[in-house]
A = this chain, B = another copy of it.
Amino acid sequence: MRGSIRLFVSVPLAPGEAPLLDSAQAHYLGAVMRRRTGDEVVLFNGSDGEFLARIDAVSARGGRLAVGRQLRPQSAEPGPWLAFALIKRAAAEFLVQKATELGAERLLPFRADRSVGVLPNPMRLAAIATEAAEQSERMTRPEIAPPAALADLLAAWPADRPLFAAIERRAAPLLRPCGRQAGLLVGPEGGFTDRELDLLARSPFVRAVSLGPRILRAETAAIAGLALLAAPSGEAAV
């Protein structure tokens, strides 16, 4: 359905349902994308699958859809988890958009000793993730956790999920674990403090890795690391 408008809705979906559009969705469909009554859109809700729907009514204030046939059944979307130190607002928003496109399943912001940013409005981050899920044709949205302390993040981490900590100038390159979902941990611009490095070293599931010889901005490290974790592994014979 490439080229179709794809919307996330937070109501049950099944043929015959008639979900209402909120004012933002109605504005987007009607005023921005110039869709009219009778036009088709694609809907998903993260639990019932993806459906074709028709616009029953759309105005500046709202609208109603008529749900038709299912296009894709719901599927789980296991993916890497991304733990990231609070960074500046624009960088954090960018990171949420790109991590969603690259298939991150959970986003876990944490307060680092050298964090300079504060978490942007959680509603705004959720809206950015939703839009990226719509456009990238995901069947789910990533879960965005509230900011935690690094120690609490590590204490709650599942022991069987490797957590790759991007630490500058470490020897081991980031290599994707065969057939396993993993996590990526990216620190703040100034790097981790000794106290934080100790915390990481004491966590048996943490592996310090390098993302290459250059110094990457935090959001660049997150995207590059997620691209590596999401990629098929192997070498091309060319």
Contact = CB atoms under 8 A, between A and B. Distances in A.
Interface of A: 2, 94, 98, 101-103, 135-138, 162, 168, 173-178, 180, 182, 191, 207, 212-217, 220, 223-228, 230-238
- A interface secondary structure, majority: loop
A163 to B, nearest CB: 10
Q: How many copies make up the complex?
A: 2
Contacts of A137: 213-215
Nearest to A234: B175
Nearest to A169: B2
A137 B232 CA distance: 29
A238 B162 contact: yes
Given A214-B138, A237-B178, A232 B101 contact: no
A132 to B, nearest CB: 8
Contacts of A223: 98, 220, 223-224, 227
Q: Which 4 A-B pairs have the closest CB atoms?
A: A175-B236, A224-B227, A227-B227, A173-B232
A71 to B, nearest CB: 15
A212 B228 contact: no
B214 A136 contact: yes
Contacts of A138: 214
A8 to B, nearest CB: 15
Nearest to A6: B215
5 contacts: A2-B191, A101-B220, A176-B235, A178-B235, A224-B227
A204 B235 CA distance: 20
A175 B232 contact: yes
A167 to B, nearest CB: 13
A174 B238 CA distance: 11
Contacts of A227: 223-225, 227-228
Given A102-B224, A176-B236, 13 more contacts: A101-B216, A101-B217, A102-B220, A103-B212, A136-B214, A137-B213, A137-B214, A138-B214, A174-B236, A224-B224, A224-B226, A227-B227, A228-B231
